[in-house]
A and B are shown apart, each in its own frame.
Chain A
Amino acid sequence: MVMKKKFPYRAALVACNGGCRANQEEAKCTYGCSGCRACASACKFGAISINSYGVAEVAEEKCIACGMCVRVCPQQLIHIHECANYIVVKCSNHDKGADARKECQVSCIGCGICERTCTASAVHIRDNCAVIDETYCLSCGMCLVKCPRHVMQDLRGIFTSGH
């Protein structure tokens, strides 16, 4: 099914990197994507698949931001964002830093480096997890390169964290 999309393009974003499955420790993240496929089944456009980490991933070019996946996700970790904001937070873990660290290799531990780094005051730690306000984000990626936990991702695949 092809639908005409209106600029600025929007798409669903799964705020989980799937690191906890890569790390088979006893403590497990209760916030992350469980790979239940509810979103993938609900998507009429075939825009969502389960990636190699076992978590849902959105193909933005297919997504029309209808919000169906947002509604069906039992973990409530999918939201609609503007595709022009390609620097995104891929974590929804709201546990305190020490716990969050144990639960996943790539979890946000709320250390606040991103918040201090951001020139635009667009990143804030809310309830122990980084949130980017896309209204103010300048998509520079400075938070991403400074993040010690690979929490941010560049959807274009250009910037990768240096840590």
Chain B
Amino acid sequence: MISFTVNGCVVTPSKNQKLLRFLRDELHLLAAKDGCSEGACGACTVLINGNACKSCVPDTDSLQGKSVITVEGLTAWETKVYSFAYAEAGAVQCGFCIPGMVMCTKALLDKNPDPTDSEICYALRNNYCRCTGYVKIIAAVKLAAKITREGRIPEKGADDWKLGARVQRLDAEEKVLGTGKYPDDYYLDGMLYGSALRSKYPRARVLSIDTSAAKALPGVVAVLTAEDIPGENKIGHLKHDQYTLIPPGGLTHFLGDAIALVAAENCETVEKAKKLIRVEYEILPAVHNIQEAAASDAPKVFDEEKDNICAYKHISRGNAAEAIQQAKHVISHHFETPWTEHAFLEPECAVSYIDEDGDMFIYSTDQSAHQTLHECRLLLGTDKIKVQNALVGGGFGGKEDMTVQHHAALITYLTKRPVKVKLSRAESLLIHPKRHHFEMDFTMGCDENGIIQGVKATVASDTGAFASLGGPVLERACTHAAGPYTYQNFEIEGTAYYTNNPPAGAFRGFGVTQTCFVTETLLNMMADEVGISPWEIRYRNAIRPWGVLPNGQIVDDSTGLVETLMAVKPEYDAAIAAGKPAGLGCAMKNAGVGVGIPDTGRVKLIVEPDKKVHIYAGASCIGQGLGTVLVQMVVTNTDLQHEEIVYERSNTWISPDSGTTSGSRQTLVTGEACRRACEKFMEDRKKGKNLNDMVGCFYYGEYLAKTDPLGADVPNPVSHVAYGYATQLCILDSKTGKIEKVVAAHDVGKAVNPLSCEGQIEGGVVMSIGYALRERYPIDKNCKPIEKYGSLGLFRAHEVPEIEAIVIDKPGLKVACGAIGIGEITSIPTAPAIADAYFRYDHERRYSLPLVHTPYERKDGSW
């Protein structure tokens, strides 16, 4: 019999298994998170004999006599130190990587109480974080070391919860200590495990499905196919084009299509049963790329469509062709950007059960609980559904679509049993929609002073197997291709093609990461042609308050592009003077979905029997810190202290629908709704009521971010209620060719919490350093993604350069106390800035991403 100690207690596993499974499933020590179970992510890191180890790796049989420490086994002092340090440094966003990072911190500090920066980076480098860019985690380790040495927890840096205060996030402690629950942390009595059998071929017709052998396997509770679905089989974020389960006769669209759902008493039985399902296919030729999809004799991805075109956009204002013809300088080129995987740390997971009201109750990790409700309602044909957001371990756009929620709901609906459906990391890489691969041809014309005269472009995207958000992403790619400049001749034609690749959809930047790379690169080339600096050409063309954007919108006082340019100028000039290669990129990004789509924020403030004001908003916090933002909004707009306010995670039965966490919209849209609810609350307060009198009262705020649709017949349409602006500067080390520093200046209107804001910037920049230099998502001949989580090319802690986040407050926006928000724009101008820096370094102009011939390129030939 094998025995070892866990947090000082002797334990004996019931069978040989991975240590992570034993900790979570048998001991219910849930701080170690299951992010991949393949040794990559590090979220399951524990200490074994004092060394940081990924607990998904060792078998329990190999641990005889060893000592395992998890976050639960930290001393009371250590929990205080790490909670404080991580919260104060702003190191916690989605939080899924944090318990692993904490254990790495302990392993380091136990041996080395005063580590250097590079020693800290090395201690963290086998663990991935996708939110923070590691910057603030490294700061947290430094702070924890200092506190440990001094033996005293300092005062908090900020305790005034008003707008602009760098307060510690509300959810930091539960995420540091691993007590906060993600869906995978729910273990319900009698809970089944569910998983889907996926299609063997990207494009095939399912002829028959035989589940009899799988059903006969002991431990299997249900094997479901399309005929078991009570409501609509097809669901989808906007267009309902995705079979929940492919019926016989149905066409598969990609390798992630589910054909049957298995529910069993344990995971091993589920996997065995999946192998027993016999599916007959008629294998059909697949569509692999844009060219194949566009061919006149192309196989059709959808039976019901007339061709493979998912969306087509044509936007034109002024006369681009004529303006370019008359321009003194004209540059034309073809550009390409790759598929990108979100690589959020928490794989998709949902837990569902029938609650005491007889309703379907779903714990979900998603970007909108109401969207999950809507799609599950369609699938089950019933309204008796409740969705509760658990903690969300990162989204970045990749959790807007249904992946597991509807499967869990279906199993529970039909078996009446609780169930957990969780994607393996390999499934997650295959299934959730990715960032689109784009192929783009642009022509830009400028006059002799570098003033843009016109831009004309054609772009095509591979939107993969489903519509998902392929249409809106294409639209945003097209509308924002013009850049944050003022000129009046712009024409773009965009087409999104269906293929049998994994679906592409929302991803931080929403199409703009792609077209911005092109526009900004052209502008850098144009600066050389005109003979002015890349900074100067931007300064000359920059949109300024009350200027007119190429889409016709007149921008307001909050427009701060010039301020961001000025903010990076000293460092840009110094780098140039020192002979260092430096590159610039600018960007604008809408806050709110805009273009006439109903976009409503809704918040309910309820005074509950605990005499506190509870904030209910049907808006997901996916790690960005929405709860803290809303509490700061309430503190600023009422006479309450933050201790009197409770933020409730989004749900669908009390929290009013406040839209998807998408389009960098929650701070502005839900923030303004919250402010309006506060106004009503204060009306009662001014009548002299105290919280005791107000118990049971609620105050509802709603804000419709009203915009004009694309092509609206008005001279100056309002496409979006607000835009954020940014300039990023990349400086290379002229000797090594590695990035020395990235300076990211962002105009955010009003930074609600500058600490969180910096965290967003650093995380977004590092994400796009990966996009620019290394991240890939290659797809093979069978339309299967090749890479695993650890080989996607994500940046690691020791590889991240210095990042200086400059947060610029610029008043002018009339709603949400001037807060525009951030989120997506942080990832947009990074790639072109880096690309130009490399051009200045070696005079090779690169037109596709990831950039070739850099020290970051993978050289071992495995790609």
Question: Which A residues are in CB contact (< 8 Å) with B788?
Answer: 118-121
Count how many pairs of residues, one from A and one from B, have CB atoms less than 8 Å apart in the complex.
81
The contact string, 1 if C-beta is below 8 Å from chain B, for chain A 130-163, is: 0001011011111001000000000010111110
Among the stretches B35-43, B212-220, B255-263, B637-645, the one at the interface with A is: B35-43
- Per the bound structure, the CA–CA distance linking A145 and B56 in Å amounts to 11
B791:A159 contact, CB within 8 angstroms:
no
Query: A144 — nearest CB in chain B belongs to which residue?
Result: B57
Q: Is B265 located at the chain interface by the 8 A CB criterion?
A: no
A119:B38 contact, CB within 8 angstroms:
yes
Query: B116 — nearest CB in chain A belongs to which residue?
Result: A7
B57:A145 contact, CB within 8 angstroms:
yes
Question: Pick the contact of B58 from A118, A139, A159 — CB < 8 Å?
Answer: A159
Question: Pick the contact of B118 from A7, A136, A139, A162 — CB < 8 Å?
Answer: A7
- Per the bound structure, the CA–CA distance linking A85 and B229 in Å amounts to 51
The DSSP consensus for interface residues of chain A is: loop
A158:B126 contact, CB within 8 angstroms:
no
Q: Is B148 located at the chain interface by the 8 A CB criterion?
A: no
- Per the bound structure, the CA–CA distance linking A16 and B614 in Å amounts to 64
Q: Is A22 located at the chain interface by the 8 A CB criterion?
A: no
B860:A140 contact, CB within 8 angstroms:
no
Q: Is B386 located at the chain interface by the 8 A CB criterion?
A: no
B58:A121 contact, CB within 8 angstroms:
no
Query: B788 — nearest CB in chain A belongs to which residue?
Result: A119
Among the stretches B46-54, B352-360, B628-636, the one at the interface with A is: B46-54
Distance of B22 from chain A, by nearest CB (Å): 14
Question: Which A residues are in CB contact (< 8 Å) with B48?
Answer: 158
Q: Is B415 located at the chain interface by the 8 A CB criterion?
A: no
Q: Is B740 located at the chain interface by the 8 A CB criterion?
A: no
Q: Contacts A159-B53, A159-B62 given: A136-B119 contact, CB under 8 Å? A: no
Question: Which A residues are in CB contact (< 8 Å) with B49?
Answer: 158
Query: B858 — nearest CB in chain A belongs to which residue?
Result: A136
Q: Is B14 located at the chain interface by the 8 A CB criterion?
A: no
- Per the bound structure, the CA–CA distance linking A159 and B122 in Å amounts to 20
Question: Which A residues are in CB contact (< 8 Å) with B38?
Answer: 119, 140, 142
Q: Is B789 located at the chain interface by the 8 A CB criterion?
A: yes
Interface centre among B40, B54, B58, B787 (most CB of A within 10 A): B58
Q: Contacts A7-B116, A120-B790, A121-B787 given: A140-B122 contact, CB under 8 Å? A: no
- Per the bound structure, the CA–CA distance linking A161 and B62 in Å amounts to 8
Q: Contacts A121-B787, A145-B62, A158-B49 given: A138-B57 contact, CB under 8 Å? A: no
B126:A139 contact, CB within 8 angstroms:
yes
Total interface residues on A, CB under 8 Å, equals 24
Q: Is A124 located at the chain interface by the 8 A CB criterion?
A: yes
Question: Which B residues are in CB contact (< 8 Å) with A8?
Answer: 118, 122
- Per the bound structure, the CA–CA distance linking A160 and B66 in Å amounts to 12
- Report B331-369 residues with CB < 8 Å from chain A CB: none
Q: Is B679 located at the chain interface by the 8 A CB criterion?
A: no
- Report A91-146 residues with CB < 8 Å from chain B CB: 118-122, 124, 133, 135-136, 138-142, 145
Question: Which A residues are in CB contact (< 8 Å) with B51?
Answer: 156, 158
- Report A14-30 residues with CB < 8 Å from chain B CB: none
Q: Is A84 located at the chain interface by the 8 A CB criterion?
A: yes
Distance of B124 from chain A, by nearest CB (Å): 11
- Per the bound structure, the CA–CA distance linking A89 and B692 in Å amounts to 68
Q: Is B862 located at the chain interface by the 8 A CB criterion?
A: yes
- Per the bound structure, the CA–CA distance linking A122 and B119 in Å amounts to 22
Question: Pick the contact of A119 from B40, B53, B122, B860 — CB < 8 Å?
Answer: B40
Question: Which B residues are in CB contact (< 8 Å) with A142?
Answer: 38-39, 57
Interface centre among B57, B58, B122 (most CB of A within 10 A): B57
Q: Is B804 located at the chain interface by the 8 A CB criterion?
A: no
Question: Which A residues are in CB contact (< 8 Å) with B292?
Answer: none
- Per the bound structure, the CA–CA distance linking A122 and B40 in Å amounts to 11
Q: Is B571 located at the chain interface by the 8 A CB criterion?
A: no
Q: Is B61 located at the chain interface by the 8 A CB criterion?
A: yes
Question: Pick the contact of B860 from A7, A124, A145 — CB < 8 Å?
Answer: A124
Question: Which A residues are in CB contact (< 8 Å) with B72?
Answer: none
Interface centre among B38, B118, B787, B789 (most CB of A within 10 A): B38
The contact string, 1 if C-beta is below 8 Å from chain A, for chain B 9-52, is: 00000001000000000000000000010111010000011010
Question: Which B residues are in CB contact (< 8 Å) with A136?
Answer: 790-791, 858, 860
Distance of A146 from chain B, by nearest CB (Å): 9
Q: Contacts A141-B53, A162-B59 given: A118-B119 contact, CB under 8 Å? A: no
Q: Closest 4 interchain pairs by CB?
A: A140-B39, A119-B790, A120-B790, A142-B39
Q: Which B residues lie at the A interface, using CB under 8 A?
A: 16, 36, 38-40, 42, 48-49, 51, 53-54, 56-59, 61-62, 66, 116, 118-119, 122, 125-126, 787-791, 858, 860, 862
Known: A7-B119, A118-B788, A136-B790. 18 other contacts (CB 8 A): A7-B122, A84-B125, A119-B39, A119-B40, A120-B788, A120-B790, A121-B860, A121-B862, A122-B790, A133-B860, A136-B860, A141-B54, A141-B58, A142-B38, A142-B57, A145-B58, A159-B62, A160-B62
